[in-house]
């Protein structure tokens, strides 16, 4: 019965071919450092799931942001877990993608024919940092407020364009409701869209080109 159904589905979608290309592809003999990309992907999934759950209660306005976060943490059943997973997952994400990048650099895996995979990876790193920067403001406590004050000031340091940049990021000269809601919008709409798009290209290229082997002495 099941096999008849999968047969029917496979005839129309060739899903087995896709499955085999993704999960049953041949790879060189590699080590545990090669799992960092998959670990980052799993964390991205974790951030997506817990992030979506957080938006069910979080309100991105100055009069509700802090209280709604406190409500999630102390009142909602398992809210502490969902927020905790998102919070610690965010930090771990930065650690993992940096380690992932170091592995690619140290093993020379960015070379031909994998340059484009590397480029998308560099943009993905920037996207992940953007997630961290925008997400940090959302709890709207003292730490987020002052961290964003400092972070946006740093963006304001380049000569000539600095002041414009600072105002554009803050949505004005001060950190206000406008700043909070635009950080929220970037955090939940702009960056996730970019992330999904780039991860799609990144994974396609990995499967298309195959992964690199561990470099050998004298080769």
Partner 1 sequence: MGEPNQLSRHNFMQAAIWGIGGFIGLGYVVSAIAYIVKPSLKNQQTQTWMRLGPTSKVELGIPTLFTFTIETQTGWISNTQEVSVYVLSTDGRTYIAMSNICTHLGCHVRWIVEKNQFTCPCHNGVFDVSGNVVSGPPPRPLDRYDVKVENDQLYVLVGG
Least distance from partner 1 to the Cβ atom of residue 85, Å: 9
- The residue within the footprint of partner 1, chosen from 9, 21, 22, 81 (CB under 8 A), is 81
The answer to whether the Cα torsion of 99, 93, 209, 25 is positive or negative is positive
Least distance from partner 1 to the Cβ atom of residue 49, Å: 6
Using rule CB under 8 A, residue 118 touches partner 1:
no
Using rule CB under 8 A, residue 70 touches partner 1:
yes
Where does this chain touch partner 1 (CB under 8 A) — which range of 26-34, 69-77, 143-151, 192-200? 69-77
Using rule CB under 8 A, residue 78 touches partner 1:
yes
Which helix (H) or strand (E) is 202 found in, with range? helix 191-209
Closer CB to partner 1, 65 or 124, in the complex: 65
Closest by CA position to 37, among listed 121, 139, 147 = 121
Using rule CB under 8 A, residue 76 touches partner 1:
yes
In the numeric block, which tokens belong to residue 79?
Answer: 């809210």
- The residue within the footprint of partner 1, chosen from 41, 49, 123, 194 (CB under 8 A), is 49
Q: Cβ atoms within 10 A of the Cβ of 171, count? A: 16
Using rule CB under 8 A, residue 92 touches partner 1:
no
Q: What are the CA-CA distances from residue 45 to residues 48, 114, 192 (Å)? A: 5, 24, 11
The half-sphere exposure of 63 on its side-chain side, counting CA atoms within 13 A, is 0
The answer to whether the Cα torsion of 53, 133, 89, 48 is positive or negative is positive
- The residue within the footprint of partner 1, chosen from 43, 53, 180, 191 (CB under 8 A), is 53
Using rule CB under 8 A, residue 67 touches partner 1:
yes
Contact present, 182 and 156 (Cβ < 8 Å): no
Using rule CB under 8 A, residue 43 touches partner 1:
no
Name residues whose C-beta falls within 8 Å of residue 13's C-beta, 6 or more positions apart in sequence: none
Closer CB to partner 1, 58 or 131, in the complex: 58
Q: Which residue ranges make up the site for partner 1 (CB under 8 A)?
A: 49, 53, 56-57, 64, 67-68, 70-71, 75-79, 81-82
């Amino acid at each position: 019965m099941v096999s008849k159904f999968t047969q029917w589905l496979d005839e129309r979608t060739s899903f087995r071919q896709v499955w085999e290309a993704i999960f049953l592809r041949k790879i060189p003999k590699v080590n545990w450092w090669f799992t960092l990309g998959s670990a980052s992907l799993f964390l991205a999934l974790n951030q997506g799931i817990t992030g979506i759950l957080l938006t069910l209660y979080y309100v991105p306005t100055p009069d509700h942001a802090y209280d709604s976060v406190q409500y999630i943490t102390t009142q909602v059943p398992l809210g502490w877990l969902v927020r905790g997973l998102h919070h610690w997952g965010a930090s771990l994400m930065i650690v993992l993608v940096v380690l992932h990048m170091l592995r690619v650099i140290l093993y020379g895996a960015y070379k031909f024919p994998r340059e484009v995979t590397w480029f998308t990876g560099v943009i993905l790193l920037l996207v992940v940092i953007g997630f961290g920067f925008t997400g940090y403001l959302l709890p709207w406590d003292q730490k987020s407020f002052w961290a964003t004050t400092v972070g946006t000031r740093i963006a304001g340091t380049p000569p000539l364009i600095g002041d414009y940049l600072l105002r554009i990021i803050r949505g004005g000269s001060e950190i206000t409701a406008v700043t909070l809601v635009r950080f929220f919008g970037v955090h939940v709409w702009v960056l996730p869209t970019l992330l999904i798009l780039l991860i799609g290209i990144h994974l396609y290229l990995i499967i298309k080109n195959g992964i690199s082997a561990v470099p050998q002495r004298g080769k």
